[in-house]
Amino acid sequence: MTATHFTGVDGVVDFGGVIAISEFSVDITRGVAAHPRSGHWSDFQVPGKISVAGALKRIMIDGSLLGYVVGDTAETGGAGTLHAGLTAPGAAGESVTDMSETNSQSSLIKFTALTAAITAAGIAVIYGTDINDSTQVEIVVIPTLGINETVTGKRIFKTVTHVAAFDWVQEGGTLKVSSVAGASGIAVGNAKFFDVDGYVDNNVNDIHILMDNCFPTSGKFAFTDADTILSDELAFAMRDPDADLSITYV
């Protein structure tokens, strides 16, 4: 059988050891070194530098691709108790409590109703720092909660210094403050380097492109409608095509 074409079903991309990319493209460009000449209508031109860039697109399962543009290390949070229990400020009340443990392990912050239900809603204001050590504040709505029910914020805190409580009512119980295991954040720093191994193979012919030491140049994430699967887009370039680019075909 003579191969006549490839389609998308023939392609596979191995990115960082995980085959999870839905689309992949690579652009190879050759520059031109030129010199003007007297007595000629055109420049004298010779092949110039090679540049390799590409893009990955993956079905959105976490924020890791977007994070690769920002930094090379993900900080994964751990579970811990920051304060054993805040006392309810009461209706139209206010209280401020320093945390007994300020290291929140780069995690989301969770509140748990202990020993008694919260019968009237209010808010809790978390004060601390983000994963880049900048001051951060988050307002978390504290709804009515049964005993041991929880509510969790949406921002990752590296540290939490104190929590201001407003208006919620709880008869005899307290509101525990804790960090949440599993939440991850990326601190601003060096871009992450990775290898991309892409090929198409229809059991007759194949094209194989191996690119080592790539780094992201931009990331894109778009919210869409309910009939569209969310995806990450990651543009990248190669550090040294002379040493790290390999193209083979059969």
DSSP tag of 72: S
* Domains of the chain from N-terminus onward: 8-34+47-72+189-249 (2.30.110.20), 74-185 (2.60.120)
Tens digit of pLDDT at every position of the chain (250 positions) = 566 888 888 888 887 665 557 788 999 999 999 999 999 999 999 999 999 999 988 888 778 888 888 888 777 888 999 999 999 999 999 999 999 999 998 899 999 999 999 999 999 999 999 888 889 999 999 999 999 999 999 998 999 999 999 999 999 999 999 999 877 778 888 888 989 888 888 888 899 999 999 999 998 888 888 998 888 888 999 999 999 999 999 8
In terms of pTM, does the model score above 0.85?
no
Could you tell me the two tokens for 228? 């569209």
Could you tell me the two tokens for 57? 């697109």
64-88 b/e (C-beta count within 10 Å ≥ 16 → b):
bbbbbbbbbebbebeeeebbebbeb
193-229 b/e (C-beta count within 10 Å ≥ 16 → b):
ebebbbbbeeeeeeeebebbebbbeebeeeeeeeeee
In this predicted structure, what is the pLDDT of residue 17?
61
What are the E-state strand segments in the chain?
11-15, 23-35, 44-59, 74-76, 80-87, 94-98, 103-107, 109-114, 118-120, 122-129, 135-142, 150-152, 157-166, 169-170, 174-179, 184-186, 194-201, 206-221, 231-238, 245-249
In this predicted structure, what is the pLDDT of residue 162?
97
In this predicted structure, what is the pLDDT of residue 3?
63
In this predicted structure, what is the pLDDT of residue 89?
95
In this predicted structure, what is the pLDDT of residue 64?
81
